[in-house]
Amino acid sequence: MNEILVSLKQDLSKILDVIINKDDVLYFDYPLHLNVGDLLIYAGTERFFQDYGINIRLRRCLQSFDINEVKKYVNADTTLLCHGGGNFGDLYPSIQQLREALVRAFPHNRIVVLPQTSHFSSQDALQKSAALFSAHKDCYLFARDVPTFELMREHFSDKVFLSPDMAHQLYGTLPTKAKSAVENSTENNLYFLRKDIEASHLEKEIQAHLPASAAVKDWEDILTEQDKKYELFCGRLARVANKLHWAFLKNKVNEMWFAHSLDVIERARQEFLRYDCVITSRLHGHIFSCLLELPNQVCDNSYGKNSGYFNQWTKNIEFTKKYER
């Protein structure tokens, strides 16, 4: 076992200190979408609940979120947990609005935002969101890097803590490169590069210097049409359940999607382990490689999320380093 990765997993235990009652916890914004990085966070979060005996009384994704339903589950000592990731800000406004709805509706309950990276492209959006959060006196925020910690501490809350990503809870549960029999493996690299709104000029620069035979992929290249159809089906089912106020169907969707998420993660694990090194601009391409004890190099996304995380948590792992062209 890698000592640094074990330490990062253990570091997540400090989240327990801000959960008032382990038997009365609600969990929001589990990712019913096909960003595999978010699915890794999801799996790590559920593993965290399992490892520490946390009873989640309600799980709701964005598609099944109904503030009036939530009110039926909230008691005086209920802790409300919000999913971690890299979406605290205005790049993904619907998710930020979900968190803001909880902050407005439950001013006297403990609200915990699990480890996040924050980015606001609009100062106006920052100020409006900060006004809501700072008015809540029992809101605990976990930041994955120092810039996020400083932004949250200055504008959002005085209860902010540095923490590694929730996916680290998976360390030790996944077969690794050293322990797996990888067939037809040769010395080859996987260039795992972003293609979405967080992509930067760097991805194009890297690809410009690669041979045509290089393996260049993103999460979408691991996913299948069947995955996309299943996501669409579950998303529609969650929305129908929300419209009809069918809690049992919302719960069933959660069970179905979590099982599918684990299947996707296993498929991604098998794909990653076909290579000897991963060069990635995906934060969870980097974290996943570390969990698999797979040599990797990390380069930045459009707003510095990856370098901030690397410098804070993973730079001393012997089989990872910053990418240098």
**DSSP for 98-156?**
HHHHHHHH-TTSEEEEEEEEEE-S-HHHHHHHHHHHHH-TTEEEEESSHHHHHHHHHHT
**Which run of H or of E encompasses 278?**
strand 277-280
Report how far apart the first and last C-alpha atoms of the chain are (Å, whole number): 30
Token reading at 129: 């969101």
Confidence at residue 177, expressed as pLDDT on a 0 to 100 scale? 81
**Is 274 contained in some domain?**
no
> How far is it, in rounded angstroms, from Cα 255 to Cα 141?
27
Structure tokens at 5: 């990765």
Q: What is the pLDDT of residue 166?
A: 98
Indicate whether 130 belongs to any domain: yes
Q: What single-letter DSSP state applies at residue 214?
A: S
DSSP designation for 77: T
Helices (H) and strands (E) in the chain, counts: 12, 12
pLDDT of residue 185: 42
Looking at the domain assignment, is residue 69 inside a domain? Answer: yes
DSSP structural state of residue 78: -
3-state helix, strand, coil in the chain (%, to 5): 50, 15, 35
Q: What is the DSSP letter of 191?
A: E
* 61 found inside a domain: yes
127 within some domain:
yes
Q: How many domains does the chain have?
A: 1
Q: What was the pLDDT predicted at 195? A: 76
Q: Is 64 helix (H, G, I), strand (E, B) or coil?
A: helix
**Tokens 């690794």 found at:** 176
User: Is the Cα dihedral 231, 91, 105, 167 positive or negative?
Assistant: positive
143 occurs within a structural domain: yes
pLDDT tens digits for range 159-175: 999 999 999 999 999 98
In a domain, 309, yes or no: no
Q: Give me the domain span that covers residue 71.
A: 3-169
The two structure tokens encoding residue 85: 């990731």
> Measuring CA to CA, which residue among 247, 259, 257 is closest to residue 57?
247
Distances (CA, A) of 2 to 13, 43, 96, 176, 293: 18, 20, 35, 11, 8
Under 8 Å between Cβ of 177 and 293:
yes
Domain at 109, CATH number: 3.40.50
Q: Give me Rg for the CA atoms of the chain.
A: 19
Positions of the chain with pLDDT under 70: 178-187, 197-199, 301-303, 325
Phi, psi (deg, nearest 5) at residue 255:
-60, -45
Is residue 94, in this structure, part of any structural domain at all? Answer: yes
| pLDDT attached to residue 204 | 78
Report d(CA 267, CA 301) in Å as an integer.
Answer: 24
Phi, psi dihedrals of residue 142, rounded to the nearest 5°: -110, 130
pLDDT of residue 16: 97
For the record, the structure tokens of 180 come out as 């797996």
